[in-house]
Amino acid sequence: MDSRPDRMRWMSVNNAMTRDVILVKESSRVKDAWITLMESGISGAPVVDDTGSLVGILSVTDIFRSIIDKFQKARSLREATATTQDAEAAEKEELRELSLAIRAVSESSVQAIISRDKKLLTLSPEDSFERAIRMMAEHGVNRLPVVKGNHVVGILTRQDIIWHIGGRPGKSQDQRFAQEPSSG
């Protein structure tokens, strides 16, 4: 009989985390980081400084939020200063403002758009699987970096949790638990 809840109490994050982590440098342009995320099929990644220390998390939501903030500021300014415009001209101007917002955010550095006002949530490899799930639920996050010191050694995502509990497509449960952690 499989008692998954009991197993989760003693299981560590180390058993379920992804070790091959895609990292983004804070000095990178948002455009380059965004392309990396899209090409990797992920929605976010840990952000590190030049020494490899964790400084934040970048998600596509952060990118979209930055774009919409710039767009809304431009639209508000236009609406406050505009004389009557026909609908077609207003539509063209709105598209231009959106294009400029996308370009401005894309050309900015990652460090300019990552959130610095929130506490950075992290796990250690020894943390319990149950603690990780609770942290994700309490804080509404989709991923938690796993760190030793301040250096990223893994990441635990909601998808990792689903795969660990329900089985990853193409792998039996015995294969998942028999895997040796990769070095590095």
Strand pairing category for 44-48 and 54-59: antiparallel
Beta bridge mates, 43 = none
Classify domain 1-17+123-184 by CATH architecture.
Alpha-Beta Complex (3.90)
3-state secondary structure of 145: strand
Residue pLDDT, tens place only, 54-96: 999 999 999 999 999 999 999 898 888 877 678 888 889 899 9
d(CA 135, CA 122): 9
Segment 106-133 mean pLDDT: 91
130-to-8, 20, 126, 149, 182 alpha-carbon distances in Å: 6, 22, 12, 22, 23
- Residue 184's pLDDT is what? 38
- Residue 166's pLDDT is what? 81
22-118: CATH number: 3.10.580.10
Q: Read off φ and ψ for residue 157, nearest 5 degrees.
A: -110, 165
pTM across the whole model: 0.80
Domain residue spans of the chain: 1-17+123-184, 22-118
d(CA 31, CA 147): 26
The two three-digit tokens of residue 9, written as one number: 């109490």
48, 54 in Cβ contact below 8 A? yes
d(CA 49, CA 57): 12
Among 53, 56, 35, smallest CA distance to 45 is for: 56
